Structure 1
């Protein structure tokens, strides 16, 4: 198991541990918003107006307008009809799962589907590649008992940096209603010019009936907000809002959504910086042959776990721990963020090449 780094401030492009400074290439703050002083100042201003929390039901008789304003903006940005925010990405997934469970829906899980979409505390996920799973999915659906079906998947393989092809939707059978639930926590703010996965998923491919699409996401990654969101059609979102699960949970703090409404320039700046950093990282890291990488996505995955220890000795800290449970295999990956400088990435690339040279000599 990798060493645990206990720190007392938010990681930025560097962290300090036991008096030693390390370049930091981990985390999920892809656009660098939590570390951005101007974004932090927006948060301070919003807290002065909205306080730290709204400990009430969104369905109560006192309602704060910023929720609907921010949800309309989030939906408009992605291309969805409408959106609903919750206190976390986990809650966003579970409000959907709880609702579908009440309709006696059959759940069909993709490999590595995020725990936010699980119907039970533990779920036996398919031990197949995503391509193998999609190839056998039409036949599997023909054997599932009659009634509504929910297919649950991630938008991409965020751990191993692989994109998923959604053309398999063309091959799904027409004999039953299908809801596709996609967790886009790592794509929102990053994929498709920041719009996330919504624009590239067909709802009515070669089927007689439309596939109902629901996308859930954490806002705590690229978006830099402690909360979650569900995107969908107007009827589905209205139904979710009327559930006891939604009505009884406290919402995400309104101050954060107020800051989001005023942060367009900072999101655009973060996205532009990330793209520049990614172009350089792809140019310098991919020729090493050490990494698996979905172009345009800020994660470089490697099966060479010894890289972690080598970089650590050279004052560079990358991602390396078991996920999603401590029983899972640790995975090693480099995460590029908007808060990095081009010099940081060049330093990283030199260390990676030194590691490869050291292995070759050894």
Structure 2
């Protein structure tokens, strides 16, 4: 089992453990928003107006306008017609799964679909590759009635981008709801971090719903659902959503004022990814989806070696302790070029 470190502060470029400093290349703070002092100052100002939490249902008889304002802004970022925020990415997925399950639709899951989209506590996920699974979809869709297809937008663990051209091959005589978890693409991939929404082909009989955690690149303690306005309104009117605690409003207020901060962070992240691609990919050790800040390797021995050399990377079993450990390097906007150069030098030394 990989060595586990414990610390008492938020990781940034570095972490401290037993009075030793380690470079930090893990986590999912791709844009470094939680560590960004300018964003922290915006949040402090917002906390003075909105407090730490809004202790009420979003469907109550007193409503805060900041929710609708922020949801319009984040929907515009992706190109979606409407958006709905919740207290976590897990809740965003589950409010959709609960809504669709109530319609008694049939569910089909792609490989490695995130548990946030599961409509039961456990589901049997296909063991095929994503491409092989999509090739079989026409045969799988022989079920009658409305079908739900639930997939991830990217394999975030193994840094593999998923294609979506297969949507054009779906049957045209069957109602289908396509649900895509874009937790690791939103804020990072495509122009302005718009994510997967505009990349998925549209079909008249296919309704699209995209869910995402806001706790990754966006640095907010919440989740979001994107879809057409009618579907978003229907989800908002469910008992499940009405019973959910909302995302703390101060974070959405800070988000609305932080457009420049996000833009600058994406520029820094893009530069850091480009440097890491130039230095790490020629080793032949890593797999990486173009433009994505995760470099996956089958070489699990990399973790203890780098740890000895003062560099901490991601290496643990996911999503359950029974799964195989996976090892990856995560690049963030808070890294400096010398951090990435030092990381690469250690890897070349081991090679």
TM-score, length-scaled by structure 1: 0.96
Correspondence for 1:172: 170
Alpha-carbon distance in 2 for matches of 1:8, 1:43:
22
Alpha-carbon distance in 1 for matches of 2:202, 2:319:
30
Correspondence for 2:98: 98
Aligned residues: 350
**Cα deviation, residue 199, structure 1:** 1.1
Alpha-carbon distance in 1 for matches of 2:5, 2:265:
26
Correspondence for 2:114: 114
Correspondence for 1:253: 248
1:218 paired with 2:217, answer no
> Which consecutive segments of 4 or more residues in structure 1 shift more than 2 A?
none
Correspondence for 2:151: 153
Match of 1:316 among 304, 311, 314: 311
Per the alignment, in what secondary structure is the counterpart of residue 353 of structure 1? helix
Per the alignment, in what secondary structure is the counterpart of residue 123 of structure 1? coil
- Structure 2 unaligned spans of 5+: none
Which whole-Å deviations, capped at 9, do the CAs of 1:110-166 have from their partners, x for residues lacking one?
000000001111111000100110011111101x2x211110000011010011010
- The 8 Å contact of residues 3 and 304 in structure 2, kept in 1 or not, is answered as no
**Cα deviation, residue 174, structure 1:** 2.0
Alpha-carbon distance in 2 for matches of 1:324, 1:118:
14
1:70 paired with 2:65, answer no
Alpha-carbon distance in 1 for matches of 2:307, 2:123:
35
Match of 2:277 among 282, 285, 293: 282
**Cα deviation, residue 210, structure 1:** 3.1
1:329 paired with 2:342, answer no
**Cα deviation, residue 211, structure 1:** 1.1
Per the alignment, in what secondary structure is the counterpart of residue 11 of structure 2? coil
Correspondence for 1:360: none
Alpha-carbon distance in 2 for matches of 1:312, 1:4:
10
- The 8 Å contact of residues 57 and 243 in structure 2, kept in 1 or not, is answered as yes
Correspondence for 2:127: 127
Matches for 1:1-362 after TM superposition, within 5 Å: 1-142=1-142, 144=143, 146-193=144-191, 194-204=193-203, 209-356=204-351
- Structure 1 unaligned spans of 5+: 357-362
**Cα deviation, residue 175, structure 1:** 2.5
Per the alignment, in what secondary structure is the counterpart of residue 221 of structure 1? coil
